[in-house]
Amino acid sequence: MERLPEGHGTTTRVLHWLVAVLILLMIPAGLIMVQEGLERHLQDALFIFHKNVGSLLIVIVTLRLAWRLTHRPPDLPVSLPSWQRRAAAASHVALYVLMVAMPLSGYVRVRAGGYPIEALDAMGVPALVPRSEALAEAASSFHQVAAFALIGVIAIHVGAALQHALIRRDGVFQRMWPPVARKRT
97 occurs within a structural domain: yes
Alpha helices, DSSP H, located in 71-165: 82-112, 118-122, 133-162
Using 50, 70 and 90 to split pLDDT, how confident is the model at 159?
A: very high
Q: How far is CA 43 from CA 48, 49, 83, in A?
A: 9, 10, 44
| Proportion of the chain above pLDDT 70, given as a percent | 94
What is the torsional sign of CA 96, 98, 101, 103?
A: negative
pLDDT in tens, 71-118: 999 888 888 999 999 999 999 999 999 999 999 999 999 999 999 999
139 occurs within a structural domain: yes
Which CATH number does the domain housing residue 105 bear? Answer: 1.20.950.20
Domain hosting residue 24, numbered range: 10-175
163 occurs within a structural domain: yes
pLDDT for res 184: 56
184 occurs within a structural domain: no
4 has a pLDDT exceeding 70: no
pLDDT for res 2: 46
1 occurs within a structural domain: no
108 occurs within a structural domain: yes
Residue range 144-154: mean pLDDT, rounded: 98
181 occurs within a structural domain: no
How many Cβ atoms sit within 10 Å of the Cβ of residue 53? 19
Using 50, 70 and 90 to split pLDDT, how confident is the model at 1?
A: very low
Q: Are 129 and 135 in contact (CB under 8 A)?
A: yes
Residue range 23-52: mean pLDDT, rounded: 97
Number of domains in the chain: 1
CA atoms of 102 and 174, how far apart (whole Å): 28
2 occurs within a structural domain: no
What pTM was computed for the model?
0.90
Q: If you count DSSP H runs as helices and E runs as strands, how many of each does the chain have, helices first?
A: 5, 0
Cβ burial 118-127 (10 Å sphere, 16+ → b, else e): eebeeeeeeb
Per-chain mean pLDDT for the chain: 93
**Nearest CA among 86, 78, 77, 91 for reference residue 150:** 91
**Sequence-distant (≥ 6) Cβ neighbours of residue 75 within 8 angstroms:** 5, 6
Phi, psi of 72 (to 5 degrees): -65, 135
